[in-house]
Amino acid sequence: MGKLFKNPLLFVSIGIVFTFTLVVFSATETSYAMIETASFWVRNHFGYFYLYLGLGCVLFLIGIGLSPLGKIRLGKKDSKPEHSLWAWTAMLYSAGMGAGILLRAVQEPVFMQQHPPYLSGLSRESLALEFTFYQWGFTAWAFYGLFALVIGYGLFVKKRKVLASAAVQNAVENKIALHSIDIMTIITTVFGLIAAIGLGTAQINGGLNHLFGPNFGLGTMLLLATLVSGLSFYSAWQGLNKGIKIISKINIVVTLAILLFVFLYGDVPTILQAFVKTTGYYIMDFIPMSLAWGSYNPGISFLTDWTFYYWAFWLAWAPFTGIFIARISKGRTLRQLIGGVLIIPSLGTFFWFSVFGTSAFQLIETWGAYNQEFGNVFSSIFVFFEHLPGANLLNFTTLFLLIGFLVTSVDSAVFVLSMFTDKGKRNPLKKHRLLWSIFVLMATMALLLLGNAKQNINVLDAVQLLLVITSLPFAFYMIVMSTLFLKDVLKK
């Protein structure tokens, strides 16, 4: 315990997480009211700032990738990538998206079809897929990629520690300021992480209720969070190659198997046409959509409920996902890193939503009317599978996959948090992994309680409110970090 007090970064970070957990446990409804008020203020004053920041990150990365700076290699000039393209993609995708694509696979495209964000010359189905692509595409991966770019450059080229503050250490000499940056990043990471666990356990709970009846509630979600945290701790304890990489590969193989089955069972020509055409629409409309410009503006209410929340979510995940991507990208050039992070996972996600979205649209068409069958975000994919052969196998496989994706998100985040608090070491001590596994679980339980404070409050509501707040300071830091990075590489 004495060493804990000698490590201010670890002591203060865990102290903040513990205090938050204690307050929520003891004053749940009051905590929700305060978070709701603060979130409302942030969205009203900084919502559009999130939009512009997202577009800026995409353009910044494209500029770096196409410029001569893209040739800079993360490591020695003749070094080869530490991980194969397959393993690298599996790990970054499992850490960066994971359970989210299962959560929204059917619900989001159908919602956009039934409630078009704005008037468009496209069909309702094409617009629904295009807006879904927008919220899961280049911008999300640009937030991750920008952080990976800066940290990876500092780690493998400048030989700096794995700390968020390392990106500005040449410009900021005050140790308190540097520690504050790392603490801010840790807290943002923790809240983004517990949000993911909260949503994931809620979806598993929704699947269990759909399959076995409405008998699974808060207690089940708390048990699921404990299970996920325990498995994640074991994986993080085993390390990058023995734990995280293996589970990530299993996740992607199972995901591809489900995707291939739904694709081949569906209307293949229509799905392929939707994927190609909508990807083209998305690329052409990307800038005006990113600016909510003119006829592409869905209005402040829609943006608040959807896009502002998504951008806050991706920002909250950017620290640990970006650092994790940087950690596994040794030997790749900046151009390979940017191209791989922006293009490969985005196209995979677009195809995923094309398959599930198009199949759901056609199913609704055969019904003749839609009565909110896919309206519940936590059970929609299980309802969808009921209309396919082998529904039981698909549902149980999805439950297994949800747990797998949550484990890879948590284990990679615990690994990154441990690198932070163990003085920026690439392979942190196992006691740090144990500590963070415990405190992340405690904070997750607090969030689940927060989401059940009232009958009309669910986990998704609590998550949306919390992430909009915690991601704001980090949004400003990304601007500073990017500016100093550009100044540094242009000196070469």
- Domain CATH code at residue 252: 1.20.1740
3-state helix, strand, coil split of the chain in percent (to 5) is: 80, 0, 20
Percent of the chain with pLDDT strictly greater than 90: 35
Rg (CA), the chain: 21
Residue 217: both structure tokens together: 């509630």
Give the DSSP per-residue string, 258-297: HHHHHHHHS-HHHHHHHHHHHHHHHHHHHHHHHHT-GGG-
Tokens describing residue 441: 């679980």
Ranges 2-6, 24-28, 67-71, 220-224: which has the least confidence: 2-6
Burial of 4 (0-12, 13-18, 19+ CB in 10 A): middle
What is the count of structural domains for the chain? 1
Long-range contacts of 476-483, Cβ-Cβ distance < 8 Å, separation of 24 or more:
477/164, 477/181, 477/184, 477/185, 478/53, 478/57, 478/143, 478/146, 478/147, 478/315, 478/318, 479/53, 480/168, 481/146, 481/147, 481/150, 481/164, 481/167, 481/168, 482/57, 482/60, 482/146, 482/150
**Residue 39: predicted pLDDT:** 84
pLDDT at residue 243, rounded to an integer: 65
How far is the C-alpha of 50 from the C-alpha of 470, rounded, in Å?
13
Strand partners, 73: 333
Q: Measure the CA–CA gap between 430 and 237, rounded to whole angstroms.
A: 6
pLDDT at 142: 95
Q: So what's the pLDDT on residue 113?
A: 96
109-140 pLDDT per residue, tens: 999 999 999 988 899 999 999 999 999 999 99
Task: Give strand pairing partners of 167.
Answer: none
Question: Domain residues for 425?
Answer: 2-489
Q: Please, what is the end-to-end C-alpha distance for the chain in angstroms?
A: 45
**CA-to-CA separations, 392 to 12, 206, 385, 397, in angstroms, rounded:** 47, 15, 8, 8
Instruction: Provide mean pLDDT across the span 365-394.
Output: 90
Mean pLDDT is highest, among 55-59, 313-317, 339-343, 368-372, for 55-59
> CB neighbours of 459 closer than 8 A, spacing ≥ 6?
198, 199, 202, 221, 447, 448, 451, 452
Separation CA 353–CA 333 (nearest Å): 30
Higher pLDDT, residue 467 or 121: 121
Q: Which of 22-26, 87-91, 207-211, 281-285 has the lowest mean pLDDT?
A: 22-26
Distance CA 234, CA 239 (A): 9
Q: How many CB atoms lie within 10 A of CB 237?
A: 16
Indicate the range of 61-75, 108-122, 403-417 predicted with least confidence: 403-417
Whether the per-residue pLDDT at 79 is higher than 60: the answer is: yes
Q: Decide which of 6 and 288 is more confident.
A: 288
The yes-or-no verdict on residue 202 having pLDDT over 50 is yes
403's enclosing H/E stretch is helix 391-421
Paired residues of 333 in beta bridges? 73
Exposed/middle/buried for residue 366 (C-beta within 10 Å: 0-12, 13-18, 19+): exposed
Reference 282, options 433, 128, 397; nearest CA is 128
Note the pTM of the prediction, 2 decimals.
Answer: 0.88
**Nearby residues of 440 by Cβ (< 8 Å), 6 or more positions away:** 190, 193, 194, 197, 229, 410, 413, 414, 417
On the CB side of 172, how many CA atoms lie within 13 Å of its CA? 19
